[in-house]
């Protein structure tokens, strides 16, 4: 059984270590700028296609693809570009098909024409600096707040993985541009967070692929990253008073957007794991493995 696992942002294939060993012949890839992969620059104007191209280098036959967080967007892009190479797709707390930040409504309408509220300028500069300095305690703080809801075993190996992230304008987070619209920053053309910006990454036409392999969407019910009230969406943070000057820009309904795109696609199932955060594969491994085994079988 050929299963390929794709990691999310600020992580690496190491986040899949315990899962990969449960599937003989499976592998987890490292995308550019993460893990042991070369720090090749990311052309954000291509959306997530640079990462999907990295994945294509690792796939030479039809496979079962599993993508977590940003990796969910990567495998959706891969399906869009290479449907004949996908036997099944599993999305684990995936980024919305309309990117991260800067949209509203189930159809992913831009809140501002320049994508303001998304892209590299939305990154916390202290967090970016902490990665560059190898600050494990800052990684621990973010991991416990955002990646998981409850403590997990072997936490330090995940921190090691996070610290492999290459920082800078060509990688994480990318370059930013000023905007006349709140919150005053718009996506640039380079780097990871700009590749996730809705002016560069949109999958309006996923339902048009042929063939349509089955999709399983697994998500933790209490995710604070990918959520209709994301703690990383500046519009939501503005609405609750955590970011000053909020002008009423609505938050991105990330879950509703993903569901709308998959409803159009048709051949999918949604599985919600209760009392679980952003990382079901490490928070609830047995439940996650049961769902994945059933799907790829």
Cβ-count burial of 169 within 10 angstroms (0-12 exposed, 13-18 middle, 19+ buried)? middle
The answer on pLDDT for 51 being more than 70 is yes
- Per the structure, how many domains does the chain have? 1
Q: For residue 211, is the peptide bond before it cis, meaning its omega torsion is within 30 degrees of 0?
A: yes
pLDDT band for position 99 (50/70/90)? Answer: very high
Q: What does the chain come to in residues?
A: 297
pLDDT band for position 215 (50/70/90)? Answer: very high
- Determine contact, residues 134/95, Cβ cutoff 8 Å: no
Looking at residues 95-124, what average pLDDT do you find? 97
The answer on pLDDT for 17 being more than 90 is yes
- Determine contact, residues 226/69, Cβ cutoff 8 Å: yes
The answer on pLDDT for 90 being more than 60 is yes
Predicted pLDDT at 100: 98
Predicted pLDDT at 263: 98
The model's pLDDT over 276-294, given as tens digits with 9 standing for 90+, comes to 999 999 999 999 999 999 9
- Determine contact, residues 2/25, Cβ cutoff 8 Å: yes
What is d(CA 248, CA 40) in angstroms, rounded to the nearest whole number? 38
Tokens 């899949």 sit on residue? 16
- Determine contact, residues 166/4, Cβ cutoff 8 Å: no
* CATH for 118: 3.40.50.1820
The answer on pLDDT for 26 being more than 60 is yes
Looking at residues 68-93, what average pLDDT do you find? 98
The answer on pLDDT for 118 being more than 80 is yes
For residues 63-100, one letter each, b for 16 or more C-beta atoms within 10 angstroms of the residue's C-beta and e for the rest, the string is: bbbbbbbbbbbbbbbbbbebbebbbbbbbbbbbbbbbb
Looking at residues 148-157, what average pLDDT do you find? 96
Predicted pLDDT at 261: 98
The answer on pLDDT for 1 being more than 70 is no
Cβ-count burial of 104 within 10 angstroms (0-12 exposed, 13-18 middle, 19+ buried)? middle
- CA 291 vs CA 24, 260, 281: distances in Å: 17, 22, 10
Its domain, for residue 261, covers 3-296
Average pLDDT, rounded, for the chain: 97
The model's pLDDT over 175-214, given as tens digits with 9 standing for 90+, comes to 999 999 999 999 999 999 999 999 999 999 999 999 999 9
């Amino acid at each position: 059984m050929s299963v390929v696992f794709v990691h999310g942002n600020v992580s690496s294939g190491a986040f899949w270590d315990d899962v990969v060993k449960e599937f003989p012949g499976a592998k987890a890839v490292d995308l550019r700028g993460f893990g042991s992969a070369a720090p090749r620059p990311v052309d954000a104007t291509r959306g997530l296609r640079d990462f999907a191209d990295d994945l294509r280098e690792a796939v030479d036959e039809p496979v079962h693809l599993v993508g977590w967080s940003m990796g969910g967007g990567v495998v959706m892009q891969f399906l869009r570009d290479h449907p004949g190479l996908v036997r099944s797709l599993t999305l684990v707390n995936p980024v919305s098909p309309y990117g991260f930040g800067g949209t509203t409504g189930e159809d992913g309408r831009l809140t501002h024409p320049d994508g303001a509220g998304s892209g590299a300028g939305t990154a916390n500069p202290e967090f970016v600096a902490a990665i560059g300095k190898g600050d494990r305690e800052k990684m621990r703080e973010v991991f416990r707040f955002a990646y998981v809801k409850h403590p997990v075993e072997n936490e330090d190996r995940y921190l090691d993985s996070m610290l492999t992230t290459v920082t800078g304008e060509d990688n994480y987070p990318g370059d930013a541009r000023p905007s006349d619209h709140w919150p005053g920053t718009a996506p640039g053309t380079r780097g990871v967070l700009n590749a996730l910006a809705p002016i560069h990454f949109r999958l309006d036409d996923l339902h048009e692929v042929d063939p349509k392999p089955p999709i399983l969407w697994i998500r933790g019910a209490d995710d604070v990253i990918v959520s209709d009230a994301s703690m990383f969406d500046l519009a939501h943070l503005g609405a609750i008073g955590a970011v000053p000057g909020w002008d009423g820009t609505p938050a991105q309904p990330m879950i509703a957007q993903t569901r709308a795109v998959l409803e159009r696609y048709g051949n999918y199932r949604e599985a919600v794991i209760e009392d679980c955060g952003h990382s079901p594969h490490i928070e609830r491994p047995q439940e996650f493995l049961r769902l994945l085994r059933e799907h790829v079988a």
